[in-house]
Amino acid sequence: MKIAILGFGTVGSGAYEAAKSAPGIEVKRIVDLRDFPDYRDILTKDINDVLDDDEIELVAECMGGVHPAYEFVTGAMRRGKHVVTPNKNLVSACYDELMACAAENGVEFRFTPAAGGGIPWLYNLMRSRRCDEILEVHGIVNGTCNYILDNMHTNGADFAAVLAEAQALGYAERDPSADIDGHDTLRKCVISSNIAFDARLREEDIPTFGIRSITAEDVAWCNANGYTCKLLMNAGLAGDALYAYVEPELFTADALESGVKANFNLITLTGVNVGPLSFYGQGAGMMPTGTSLVQDMIDIAAGIGFAPADGGTAHTLDNTKVAHRYYFRGSDLSGLPASVIAEQFARGSDTVVLTAPISVTAAHQFAADCAARGIDFFMAGINE
Amino acid sequence: MKIAILGFGTVGSGAYEAAKSAPGIEVKRIVDLRDFPDYRDILTKDINDVLDDDEIELVAECMGGVHPAYEFVTGAMRRGKHVVTPNKNLVSACYDELMACAAENGVEFRFTPAAGGGIPWLYNLMRSRRCDEILEVHGIVNGTCNYILDNMHTNGADFAAVLAEAQALGYAERDPSADIDGHDTLRKCVISSNIAFDARLREEDIPTFGIRSITAEDVAWCNANGYTCKLLMNAGLAGDALYAYVEPELFTADALESGVKANFNLITLTGVNVGPLSFYGQGAGMMPTGTSLVQDMIDIAAGIGFAPADGGTAHTLDNTKVAHRYYFRGSDLSGLPASVIAEQFARGSDTVVLTAPISVTAAHQFAADCAARGIDFFMAGINE
* pLDDT tens readout for residues A182-227: 999 999 999 999 999 999 999 999 999 999 999 999 999 999 999 9
Of B120, B127, B282, the CB nearest to A295: B127
Q: Give the separation between CA B296 and CA B37, rounded to whole angstroms.
A: 28
**Closest by Cα among A62, A81, A56 to A11:** A62
DSSP character string of B176-194:
-HHHHTSHHHHHHHHHHHH
Distance between B58 CA and the closest CA of chain A, angstroms? 17
Query: What is the per-residue pLDDT for B311?
Result: 62
Report the SS3 class of residue A344: strand
* Band (A308; pLDDT cuts 50, 70, 90): low
Hey, which residues of B are catalytic here?
188
SS3 content of chain B, % helix, strand, coil (to 5): 40, 25, 35
Q: Is B119 on the interface with A (CB under 8 A)?
A: yes
Give the other-Cβ count within 10 Å of A335's Cβ.
11
- Chain A interface test: which of B256, B269, B286 (most A C-beta within 10 Å): B256
- Contact between B263 and B147 under an 8 Å Cβ cutoff? The reply is yes
Could you give the strand order of the β-sheet that contains B43-44, starting from the edge strand earlier in sequence? Answer: B43-44, B26-31, B2-6, B56-61, B82-84, B109-110
A-B Cβ pairs (cutoff 8 Å, strict): 137
Weakly modelled stretches of chain B, pLDDT under 70 = 308-311
A315 pLDDT more than 90? no
Superfamily of domain A2-118+290-302 in CATH is: NAD(P)-binding Rossmann-like Domain (3.40.50.720)
Q: Do A281 and B275 touch (CB under 8 A)?
A: yes
Q: Is A261 on the interface with B (CB under 8 A)?
A: yes
H or E element: which one contains A371? helix A360-372
- Contact between B283 and B263 under an 8 Å Cβ cutoff? The reply is yes
Q: Do A277 and B19 touch (CB under 8 A)?
A: no
Dihedral of CA A127/A132/A137/A140: which sign?
A: negative
Query: What is the per-residue pLDDT for A309?
Result: 59
Is the backbone peptide bond immediately before A68 cis, with ω within 30 degrees of 0? yes
Q: Does domain A121-282 have CATH number 3.40.1670.10?
A: no
CA distances from B264 to A164, A194, A260, A277 (A): 38, 28, 17, 10
Q: Do A131 and B276 touch (CB under 8 A)?
A: no
Query: What is the per-residue pLDDT for A326?
Result: 98
Distance between B351 CA and the closest CA of chain A, angstroms? 31
Report the SS3 class of residue B258: helix
Q: Give the separation between CA B357 and CA B334, rounded to whole angstroms.
A: 18
Closest residue, chain A, to B284 (C-alpha): A274
Range scoring the smallest mean pLDDT among A160-164, A306-310, B98-102, B250-254: A306-310
Q: Is B24 on the interface with A (CB under 8 A)?
A: no
- Contact between B84 and B60 under an 8 Å Cβ cutoff? The reply is yes
* Band (A160; pLDDT cuts 50, 70, 90): very high
DSSP character string of A128-178:
HHTTS-EEEEEEE--HHHHHHHHHHHHH---HHHHHHHHHHTTSS-SS-HH
**Closest by Cα among B86, B88, B103 to B296:** B86
Q: Do A295 and B255 touch (CB under 8 A)?
A: no
Strand pairing class (B264-271; B241-252) = unpaired
Q: Do A274 and B294 touch (CB under 8 A)?
A: no
Query: What is the per-residue pLDDT for B308?
Result: 65
* Band (A311; pLDDT cuts 50, 70, 90): low
The number of C-alpha atoms within 13 Å of B345 and in the hemisphere containing its C-beta is 6
For residues A89-104, average pLDDT: 96
Q: Does domain B2-117+290-302 have CATH number 3.40.50.720?
A: yes
Query: What is the per-residue pLDDT for A71?
Result: 98
DSSP character string of A202-230:
-GGGS-B--STT--HHHHHHHHHTTEEEE
Q: Do A277 and B280 touch (CB under 8 A)?
A: yes
Which positions 179-238 of A are in contact with B (Cβ < 8 Å)? none
Q: Do B277 and A276 touch (CB under 8 A)?
A: no
Query: What is the per-residue pLDDT for A23?
Result: 87
CA angle B246, B154, B231 (to 5 degrees): 5
Closest residue, chain A, to B298 (C-alpha): A130
CATH topology of domain B121-283: Dihydrodipicolinate Reductase; domain 2 (3.30.360)
Distance between A276 CA and the closest CA of chain B, angstroms? 6
* pLDDT tens readout for residues B352-379: 999 999 999 999 999 999 999 999 999 9
* Band (A255; pLDDT cuts 50, 70, 90): very high
* pLDDT tens readout for residues A331-362: 999 999 999 999 999 999 999 999 999 999 99
DSSP character string of A49-112:
HHHT-TTEEEEEE-S-SSTTHHHHHHHHHHTT-EEE---HHHHHHSHHHHHHHHHHHT--EE-G
Query: What is the per-residue pLDDT for B169?
Result: 87
Is the backbone peptide bond immediately before B68 cis, with ω within 30 degrees of 0? yes
Closest residue, chain A, to B269 (C-alpha): A281
Of A119, A275, A304, the CB nearest to B288: A275
Q: Share the mean pLDDT of chain A.
A: 96
CA distances from A277 to A135, A273, B222, B358 (A): 12, 11, 28, 36
Distance between A314 CA and the closest CA of chain B, angstroms? 23
What 3 state SS string does A243-283 have?
A: EEEEEEEEEECCCHHHHCCCCEEEEEEEECCCEEEEEEEEC
- Which spans in B37-142 are helix H? 48-51, 69-78, 88-93, 95-105, 121-129
Q: Do B277 and A280 touch (CB under 8 A)?
A: yes
- The complex's ipTM works out to 0.97
* pLDDT tens readout for residues A226-246: 999 999 999 999 988 999 999
* pLDDT tens readout for residues A262-300: 999 999 999 999 999 999 999 999 999 999 999 999 999
Q: Is A120 on the interface with B (CB under 8 A)?
A: yes
Query: What is the per-residue pLDDT for B309?
Result: 60
- Contact between B366 and B207 under an 8 Å Cβ cutoff? The reply is no
Q: Give the separation between CA A247 and CA A166, rounded to whole angstroms.
A: 21
Question: A359 forms bridges with which residues in the sheet?
Answer: A323
